[in-house]
Amino acid sequence: MEQNVQEELWSVTIDGNEIKVKPGTTVLQAARMIGENVPPAMCYYSKLEGSGGKCRTCLVKVSQGSTKDPRPMPKLVASCRTTVMDGMVVQNTTSPEVKEARAGVVEFLLLNHPLDCPICDQAGECHLQDLGYEHGKQKTRYEFKRRTFERIDIGPYIQLHMTRCILCYRCVFTCDQITNERVHGILNRGDAAEISTYIEKAIDNDFSGNVIDVCPVGALTDKTFRFKSRVWFTKPVQASCNCGKCSGKVTLWYKGEEVIRVTARKDQWGEVESFICNTCRFERKKTSDWTIEGPTHVDNKSVISANHYELKYDQPVIPQKTSLHADHPSFKEDKKLLN
């Protein structure tokens, strides 16, 4: 028994990169460990149990099932829900089939989407925008009426634009798992499915604000931030506070001297590092409430990085001359350089 403690590792190859992972790891997680050619994920959220499998943006092609059974899988599979097998070979962006399927998925996700990015507060940090930009088509082929909804206020701080929702279920899982009592969920089915609190009952929970962060699109937005600024005109900084309820580790979004929004910190996959409480998110909007840790790193592909500068290189070190005597070796060297 003792020898079994050392766990067996399975090797999986994704777009030519091989990695050894524990059994039970999904293909998407393995791809994230490699860090290259990671399939996009709109519904999977590693911090939410049971999430994934809804949106199909993470489709990949399995060109070899495993070492024991090297047959390819007959259809494209959702990488967030498929666990690796030993010797599995996966194709993501190297497969034209995957690219085509993903463009189709984007088209489906956009069927009912209003494309009101110029108005939407999520623009600039919206995963659907990124997905559409990278994998989508230029034009829509849809000719029917898009379904529309009125905006709904979920409590005093959260606004639901159901028109923009892609039904990823992330917010439902958040309410189920982070908060104690779930009061919002998905009503109806199929094309008629919608996110709703029953009879628009306010979510009254200390962690309800996290649904804003997990929502990949602009369906759930912060009412205190509504139309305050476009996100690329704001400056994010890392800050923390001693909060009894949550980790207190947040990102403050400044416009000038004013904190106009507080969000949880997001990692490179756009997922929050830790969920924060509503007091931190909605009520601590003064610099004096926080200890500033430094500027948030913004990916240079993001529009938020426009006009934000980071020190890239080490400052050049100017050698200090210890003596000004002309015989000093450093002087002689300078002369040599000049000649």
Partner 1 sequence: MQSLSGRKKNVVNKKMTIGEKLYLPAIIGGMFVTLKHFFGKSKTVKYPEVKRNFSENYRGLHVLKKDDTGAERCTACGLCALSCPAEAITMTAAERTKEDKGLYREEKYAAVYEINMLRCIFCGLCEEACPKQAIFLTSEEIAPANYDRGDFIFGKDKLVEKQHHPVGKIRGGGPYSKEHYHQHGKNKSIF
Binding interface with ligand SF4 (CB under 6 A): 118, 165-171, 195, 214-217, 219-220
Q: How far apart are CA 185 and CA 183, in angstroms?
A: 7
Query: SS3 breakdown of the chain: % helix, strand, coil, rounded to 5?
Result: 25, 20, 55
Nearer to ligand SF4, 10 or 45 (CB): 45
In contact, 79 and 101? CB cutoff 8 Å: no
Among 25, 57, 179, 251, binds ligand FES (CB under 6 A): 57
Indicate whether 54 belongs to the interface with ligand FES (CB under 6 A): yes
Per CB under 6 A, 105 contacts ligand FES: no
Minimum CB separation of residue 232 from partner 1 in Å reads: 6
Exposed, middle or buried: residue 214 (CB in 10 Å: 0-12, 13-18, 19+)?
Answer: buried
195 contact, one of ligand SF4, partner 1, ligand FES, none, CB 5-8 Å limit per kind: ligand SF4
Give whichever of 76 and 262 is closer to ligand FES, judged by the CB atom.
76
- In the list 81, 230, 266, 308, the residue contacting partner 1 (rule: CB under 8 A) is 230
- Tell me which of 108, 149, 232, 269 binds partner 1, using CB under 8 A: 232
CB of 314 to partner 1, least distance (A): 29
Stretch near partner 1 under the rule CB under 8 A, chosen from 29-37, 118-126, 197-205, 207-215: 118-126
Rounded distance between C-alpha atoms, residue 333 and residue 172, angstroms:
69
Pairwise CA distance, residues 211 & 185, whole Å: 12
Contact flag: residue 53 with ligand FES (CB under 6 A): yes
Long-range pairs, 256-261, Cβ under 8 A, ≥24: 257/287, 259/285, 259/286, 259/287, 259/290, 260/225, 260/228, 260/229, 260/234, 260/285, 261/222, 261/224, 261/225, 261/228, 261/234
Binding of partner 1 at residue 140 (CB under 8 A)? yes
Under the criterion CB under 8 A, does residue 111 sit at the interface with partner 1?
no
- Told to check if 42 binds ligand FES by CB under 6 A, we report yes
Cβ neighbours around 238 below 10 Å, total: 17
Residues forming contacts to ligand FES in the complex (CB under 6 A) are 41-44, 52-58, 78, 80
